[in-house]
Chain A
Amino acid sequence: MATKILMPKLSDTMNEGIILKWLKKEGEKVKQGETLVEIESDKADMELEAYDSGVLRKILVPDGGKAGIGAPIGIIAGANEDITGLLIEAPLFPQKTEAIEASKKESPTSLPLSPSQPGTTADVTDGSVKASPLAKRLALENKIELRSITGSGPQGRVIKRDIELLVGREQPISAKVLASIIPGGHRDVELSLIRKTIAKRMQESKQTVPHFYVTVEIDMEPTISFREQFNSATETKISFTDILVKAVSSTLMQHPTINATYLGNTIRQFGEAHIAVAVALDDGLVTPVMRNCEQKTILQINSELHDLAERARSRKLKPEEYQGATFTISNLGMFGVEDFVAIINPPEGAILAVGSIVEKPVVKKGQIVIGHTMKVTLSSDHRIIDGAVAARFLQDLKNLMEKPIALML
């Protein structure tokens, strides 16, 4: 079937892309999954793979040309298939696209919530989702919204394996394989979709974002007693993470330079704190996002985080629930980790790595006493954040955590 190749959205902040180089010529055969074209987005140069097999019949945007997200850049079809209909639909480069127009109207603080690669989600242009009959039935049985699923079949068709991945019916590959590795032997484990995504995104981050790290130690005594008082007064028992999310959100409002994203020629600073919290899964991790934490109470954060983490573990998050964060918190304290550094999750500008609360001798008023401290490490994108800026943010966060009553203001 003849299909248009559309300019993909390669990052949350991308509006248009530049064709760096077509790797296939017009008339050349293309297999699904083969690299088709190199595209420059606002963040990185990326390779676009073919979603369908066929022949690259027409290049609509040549090397060096620009196209808005969703604009057709080429056509894949059978060798002798009639593509005149598609050619009429897709005017030749150069062109103005609605995608660019629309993005200009976006308010500066709003984050796009769409999945990062629209080409792979079920095609909803005509209002319907492409899904196999079986996938539709399974989605219904598992109460999953089909629209929220990224289809891995042709043209984004949602198929059985997409649903199974979501409901976690497929055994985590690592568990299956570890059990059967012969001592002294090895086994090649196929990447799960989630593993692929993590691999791709983390590699992209570490290769394109210049990281630097600043660590600060926080006296946790005040927060510990704050939490005890809080929990003795309410039925809900809040966690240190809940308190930390609130403290980070409040501090971010004072430091828009940290709550920001790099756009190449501009820096976009956000007036709201959408906080992602990393949740570990058997074969990867997800980062559910709590929106507008700056406006939420600790209790609200507690119940929302509880719900999101639960659904993250059962793989029932919708894409908008794990995308669009402005800042991420990763906590390994529960494993006894004292401190560590985290990799920034683009397009965010920073991530906070949280260690455990450690009981140790501290000096207070000239006396050595037993205290409780916690180390946090901020990884920052040096393109937009400098060392002193990161240090001031951590200083304010530390001050707030050490006077947590201010969180109630």
Chain B
Amino acid sequence: MPVVSYREALNQAMDEEMARDERVFLMGEEVAQYNGAYKVSQGLLAKYGPKRIIDTPIAEAGFAGIGIGSAMVGLRPIVEFMSWNFSLVAFDQIVNNAAKMLSMSGGNFNVPIVFRGPGGAAHNLAATHSQALESLYAHFPGLKVVMPSNPRDAKGLLKTAIRDNNPVIFIESEVMYGEKGEIPEGEYTIPFGTGDIVREGKDVTIVSWSKILQHITTKAVSRLAEENISVELIDPRTIKPMDWELIFNSVKKTNRLVIVEEGWPFAGVGAQISHEVSNHCFDFLDAPIERVTQEDVPLPYVHNLEVASLPNIQKVIRAVRKVMYLD
């Protein structure tokens, strides 16, 4: 199987979909002339020209709104945010227009648009540029939220997102763009709402996604394996829709659940998972569900506090040991 980087996988997905459907176009800051702030759109301007690869001014509300309008009248825009932090400037467009148009127009206007870009903390970007916003967007009916953790899923899920007839929030990771992984040969898509069992286990279930899954959770799981603690690691891949059955079946097997996410604790995605699991798996739980999240403060700039504030391997190990009554 070919090995590609996360950014190449995203590039292939957009390239293939633009070749397949001429209504698909990309716009955003630096996506054309500069080949993308993170080089995700490398080579696309040369291939598809300035009508389909469009550099925008630094005006997120404006180009998000233009994208939504163009989607309403039949195009299939991909809108790149240089960072999901900047989407907050376009929040009203996404939440009040993209998410609600189908419902408020009585089914007359679909909004087939993909908003994509990197989310979460990278390194020393400080409080306003380090936010994990998935729980915020998952809150709104009408939005789908997708968070691939590897090149294979990034490509398969972005193709599905572009073909979806409704708005999709597609959250990537700046620190994963260069990371490589195998992808299937040829054309493939991954349906929304199908999670992935990253690692089978029997003692405890961990649900985790995106960069935290790759950089923190899998490492913690390997360490726990050395202590003979067998973790079943689940990557839901799409936050909304969530693959509930996969999680429920795993918890029914292991009787314990830890959710590891980058976002803040209050009303986070893990809080919702925790509710659904305690509701559907109540008689199977042997310990209270544990969550590992970012601390409930704006993320500090300084390195040591940044590390202490974000989820880390020790926090995950502690949570697992707690649900297993080992401490």
Q: Is the CB of A53 within 8 A of B284?
A: no
Contact A159 B283, beta carbon cutoff 8 Å: no
Asked if A132 CB lies within 8 Å of chain B CBs, one says yes
Counting chain A residues whose Cβ lies within 8 A of the other chain, the interface size class is 10 to 19
- B295 vs chain A, min Cβ distance (A): 15
A134 touches B327 (CB 8 A): no
Residues of A158-192 whose CB lies within 8 A of B:
159-161
Residues of chain A within 8 A (CB-CB) of B285 are 132-134
* Contact residues in A for B179 (Cβ distance below 8 Å): none
Shortest distance between the CB of A258 and any CB in chain B (Å): 43
* A11-36 CB contacts (< 8 Å) to partner B: 31-32
Tell which of B284, B325, B327 touches A159, judged by Cβ atoms closer than 8 Å.
Answer: B325
B131 at the interface (CB under 8 A from A): no
CB-CB < 8 A to B85: which residues of A? none
Contacts of B255 in A (CB 8 A): 134, 160
A132 touches B286 (CB 8 A): yes
| CB of A237 closer than 8 Å to a CB of B | no
Interface size, B (range): under 10
Interface core residue of A132, A136, A159 (most chain B CB under 10 Å): A132
Residues of B within 8 A of A152 (CB): 325
A153, B326: Cα distance in complex, Å: 9
**With A134-B255, A160-B255 as contacts: A53 and B286 at CB distance below 8 Å:** no
Contact residues in B for A32 (Cβ distance below 8 Å): 327
Contact between chains at B284 and A134 (CB < 8 Å) = yes
Let me know if B19 is at the binding interface, CB within 8 A.
no
Closest residue of chain A to B255 (Cβ to Cβ) is A134
| B248 CB → nearest A CB, Å | 14
> Which residue of chain B is the closest to A131 with respect to CB atoms?
B286
**Is B140 an interface position by the 8 A CB rule?**
no
| Min distance, Cβ B287 to any Cβ of chain A, angstroms | 6
Q: Tell yes or no: A371 within 8 A of B by CB.
A: no
A154→B284 contact, CB < 8 A: no
Chain B residues, CB < 8 A from A154:
325
Query: B266: CB under 8 A from chain A?
Result: no
Q: Is the CB of A160 within 8 A of B327?
A: no
Q: Is A135 an interface residue (CB 8 A)?
A: yes
CB pair A133–B325 under 8 Å, yes or no, is no
| A132 proximity list for chain B (CB < 8 A) | 285-287
Question: Are A160 and B283 within 8 A (Cβ)?
Answer: no
A162 to B296 CA separation, bound complex (whole angstroms)? 36
Q: Across the two chains, which residue of chain B brings its CB closest to A135? A: B286
Q: Does B34 contact A (CB under 8 A)?
A: no
In whole angstroms, what is the CA distance A137 to B283 when docked? 6
State in angstroms the CA–CA spacing of A161 and B287 once bound together.
Answer: 11
Known A133-B282, A134-B255, A160-B255: A53·B327 in contact at CB below 8 Å: yes
Flag B264-284 by CB within 8 Å of A: 1 or 0 each. Answer: 000000000000000000111
Asked if A31 and B327 sit within 8 Å, CB to CB, the answer is: yes
B283 engages A153 (CB within 8 Å): no
Cα–Cα, bound, A136→B285 (Å):
10
Nearest-CB distance from A76 to chain B (Å)? 14
Instruction: Kindly supply a per-residue 1/0 record for chain A positions 135-166, scoring 1 wherever the CB is within 8 Å of any chain B CB and 0 otherwise.
Output: 11100000000000000111000011100000
Q: Name the A residues within 8 Å of B327 (CB-CB).
A: 31-32, 53
- In residues 281-327 of chain B, which contact A (Cβ within 8 Å)? 282-287, 325, 327
Residues of B near A53 (CB, < 8 A) are 327
CB distance from B98 to the nearest CB of A (A): 40
- For the complex, what is the distance from the CA of A233 to the CA of B188, rounded to whole Å? 84
CB contacts under 8 Å to A, within B236-256, are 255
Whether the pair A136, B283 counts as a contact (CB closer than 8 A) is: yes
Cross-chain pairs A/B with CB under 8 angstroms, 17 sampled: A31-B327, A53-B327, A132-B285, A132-B286, A133-B285, A133-B286, A134-B284, A134-B285, A134-B286, A136-B283, A137-B283, A137-B284, A154-B325, A159-B287, A160-B255, A160-B286, A161-B325
Extra inter-chain contacts (9) besides given A134-B283, A134-B286, CB under 8 Å: A53-B327, A132-B285, A134-B255, A134-B284, A134-B285, A136-B283, A137-B284, A160-B286, A161-B325
User: Closest 4 CB pairs between A and B?
Assistant: A134-B286, A160-B286, A137-B283, A132-B286
